[in-house]
Amino acid sequence: MKAQVGDRIILAGTRVDDPVRDGEVLEVKGSDGNAPYTVKWSDGHIGLVYPGPGAVMRVESGTGETPRAATTKTWRVQISVVEVGDNTRATAMFISDQPGQFSAEGDSHRSPSDDPRSTIGDEVAVARALRHLADTLLAQAESDIEAVTGTDAYVRPL
């Protein structure tokens, strides 16, 4: 990652609840645009930064335009797991500021020979619920694109 004075740096939190930070590069202390950088954060603090894997650099275009501050949205997924005997059902609920609510379910069944204390069934049910939720969100994105463009859309699930 290389930067110049005036570039914007955005750091994603390392945990889900961590905030996203953005700031302007004031000084490049490394050689040839490399870290570390002195950054003035959007909250006014100034610090020395060695960007990690969650960092994104927005290179100043040179057009004289003032770069826009990053927009941060917090979306959550709430997962409920219910076990009844050897069956487990997980429900994943997508919670956001967007209209509409999305949820999906995933199931698993424990074999009689499996250890009843194991959490493998929970993990399988949750994974299936999250996969179904992802498919639902991708389908909604396709529908939204089609509504705006008037043409068929396909969003690849990378």
Helix (H, G, I), strand (E, B) or coil at 140: helix
- Considering the domain architecture, whether residues 87 and 29 belong to the same structural domain is answered as no
Whole-number average pLDDT of the chain: 85
The domain total for the chain is 2
Tokens standing for residue 2: 């290389």
CATH code, 142 = 3.30.160.240
- Considering the domain architecture, whether residues 94 and 37 belong to the same structural domain is answered as no
- Considering the domain architecture, whether residues 32 and 80 belong to the same structural domain is answered as no
Domain around 45: 8-58
Q: Quick check: 38 and 46 in contact, CB under 8 A?
A: yes
- Considering the domain architecture, whether residues 53 and 94 belong to the same structural domain is answered as no
Q: Which residue has the higher pLDDT, 97 or 132?
A: 132
Q: Looking at residue 108, what is its pLDDT? A: 96
Q: Looking at residue 15, what is its pLDDT? A: 64
- Number of helices followed by number of strands (H, E) in the chain: 1, 8
Residue 124, φ and ψ in degrees, nearest 5: -65, -45
- Considering the domain architecture, whether residues 86 and 125 belong to the same structural domain is answered as yes
User: Can you tell me the distance from the alpha carbon of 120 to that of 109, in angstroms, rounded to the nearest whole number?
Assistant: 10
Q: Quick check: 128 and 108 in contact, CB under 8 A?
A: yes
Residue 5, φ and ψ in degrees, nearest 5: -60, 130
- Considering the domain architecture, whether residues 53 and 97 belong to the same structural domain is answered as no
Helix ranges (H only) for the chain are 120-149
- Considering the domain architecture, whether residues 23 and 82 belong to the same structural domain is answered as no
Q: Looking at residue 49, what is its pLDDT? A: 85
Q: Which residue has the higher pLDDT, 59 or 2?
A: 2
Q: Looking at residue 52, what is its pLDDT? A: 76
pLDDT at 88 over 90: yes
% of residues, the chain, pLDDT over 90:
37
- Considering the domain architecture, whether residues 54 and 84 belong to the same structural domain is answered as no
